[in-house]
Structures are given as C-alpha cells and as structure tokens.
Amino acid sequence: MLARSGWAGARNFLENAFVSLIAEDVMKAYFANLPAKAWVLVTLSAVLITYPVITVVVPELLRAIVPETVRSVLNLL
C-alpha cells in the first residue's frame, strides 16, 4: 500500500536524482584528473573519426541541398 502512495514515488525520484548527481560529480572528477596522454588519445581519436565524416558527408549534403543551377553558377565564378 505504501508503494502506491505519492510520497514513496517522490522518495524514489529524489534518491535517483541524488545518485545521478553523484555520478555526474564522479565523471567531472575523472575528466579533471586525466593525464595529458589520455587527452591526446581522446583528441586524436575524435579527429580521426570526424575528418572522414566531414570530407564525405558534408559535400554530399551540399549536393543534396544546393540545386544544380546554383552550383553551375558558382563554378563559373
């Protein structure tokens, strides 16, 4: 009967919010204390992932969005 009352649900929500705040603090502390080599690895892997995406996806999106006539005029310039 107590589990169906509104108070029990509110208590569970507050406990979950508290756990979420603790997890967020733990992650902030983890990232704040990463050594420089780890940051280099994270940055390098991010660049290696985003470079092909930018070089392949962005031109295809532009071809899909910009009409052919506009592209032909831009090529004349």
Q: Structural domain of residue 28, as residue ranges? A: 1-33
How many structural domains comprise the chain? 2
Same domain, 14 and 48: no
Q: Are residues 44 and 75 in the same domain?
A: yes
The confidence score (pLDDT) of residue 7 equals: 52
Same domain membership, residue 43 and residue 21? no
Q: Given this model, what pLDDT does residue 1 score? A: 46
pLDDT by position in tens, the chain (length 77): 445 555 555 555 555 656 666 778 888 888 888 899 999 999 999 999 999 989 999 889 888 888 888 888 888 87
Residues 64 and 49 in one domain: yes
Amino acid, single-letter form, for residue 25: D
Do residues 45 and 56 share a domain?
A: yes
DSSP category for residue 2: G
> Do 7 and 18 reside in the same domain of the chain?
yes
- SS3 string of 9-60? HHHHHHHHHHHHHHHHHHHHHHHHCCCHHHHHHHHHHHHHHHHHHHHHHHHH
57 and 21: one domain?
Answer: no
Side chain identity at residue 46, one-letter code: A
Q: Are the beta carbons of 14 and 6 closer than 8 angstroms?
A: no
Verify that 75 and 46 share a domain, yes or no.
yes
